[in-house]
A and B are shown apart, each in its own frame.
Chain A
Amino acid sequence: MQDLTELRNAVIEGEVSAAVAAAREALDNGVQPLDLIAQGIGPAMAEVGRLFEEGEYFVPELLMAARATKEIFVILRPLLAQTGAKPMAHILLGTVQGDLHDIGKNLVAAMLEGGGFEVTDLGVDVPPEAFISAIKKRPVQIVGLSALLTTTMPAMKSTIQAFREAGVRDQIKIMVGGAPISKIYADSIGADGYSETAAASVDLARRLMAS
């Protein structure tokens, strides 16, 4: 199979045009979309996550790598649909009701997409009904709830409660994150997982899918 080093490096460096060009070239040369994800984008985003965790990369570098990944997925999605290949999971993301902050959620979305998940981003200030409606509309395996404020984090609990009342709680795994959130809090509200950083959310999602 074609060497994907150039693609990986372009994603890691956040060079969007170069990453897209390398992806096109690889596809033209016969690399299968799933291989491009597994051996190109996935390892590149894992490296970006590692660099971020180690303090080598900062939020702008993470955002640029995520943007490169996103642009590649614009090309990949129709190809994946043609082959019938399915993403590892469909994840719904949203910042909970009353909270208008999006940076953490956006980073998580980018990392998860780079990790091979299909992400539907419901945005900010998302009421429980919007999550429930999306879950009922098409299959969802994981719901990710974000909150930046101590005043809005209780909305995570009420959202999960609303999932129970709507009868959809058992269909999904729930992961939570955000500045005021801790593992203890995640456990106390009945979430299935907590991620301290955007980079760690990919591993968490994989663990939740395996559990």
Chain B
Amino acid sequence: MAITTLAQVRSGLQVPAQYIKSPNSNGVAGNWCTLWDRAFHPLPGVWDTTPAGVALVAPVTGQIAFNNPPSGNAYLARFAAMSQRSNVLGTGGAMLLDRLWHNGGFVLNTSSTQTINSVAFPARDENGSSDGVGVLLALIINTTSTTGGPPSTIAVGYTNSNGVAGRIATSLYATTAAVNPCHIYPLNLDVGDVGVRSVQTLTFTNPWTTGAAALIAYRPIALIPTDYNPRALAIDAISGAMPRLFNDSVLELWVEQGANTIFMASAEVTCTFG
């Protein structure tokens, strides 16, 4: 079943899930950050400590609340977000995403190739399968700030959504030496690829000397602008085009920072079932 009318959107609306968090260290203007493990609401998320990582299936501590529909499908009906940085018009963005997998247990201070060999991702790619179409990777600095380096490349060996191994993902933007927890390095895909099925290796060239990080696999759900403090912006079912949320989604918020300062982010996520 699927929602095909405005009346169905309305009848399937659910109670909004709330989000309000603040980091405890500065980020980098223009880059993405996550408040996954920060306090308040929802509760701080935890990280895995193994290179193979863990497949994430709701409910997971740290995620924005999400319930499976009793029948039919779930869709994003409304997404509002506010990010407090500076009173500058139009400074940043907020992205709602589904975190499928994350890991830990690797180091940042070696140029040797580290084996990851991820566990199977949950069946929540853009087609609701585990093939990995639309599933992307990112490196997140999580518990300890980095020093040294910075790496000239972050190279993650992965298997693409067609099952072809030996593909290499690299960082979207340049690394820097001193990066605080919450900082995200989104990774580019190899030529022709449209998603990631699994991760095999991780290699840094000119590595950091200290720091801690995790790899995550995620599927973007919606991106909206954030405005100046303290006004929230939102999309509704029509303007947001109702992206589908698969059962057991582990929803998370990323914030595109407009300034290098500590800030507060809040969001509200409303689903509709049908």
Does chain A bind chain B? no
Name A residues whose Cβ lies closer than 8 Å to a Cβ of B: none
Name B residues whose Cβ lies closer than 8 Å to a Cβ of A: none
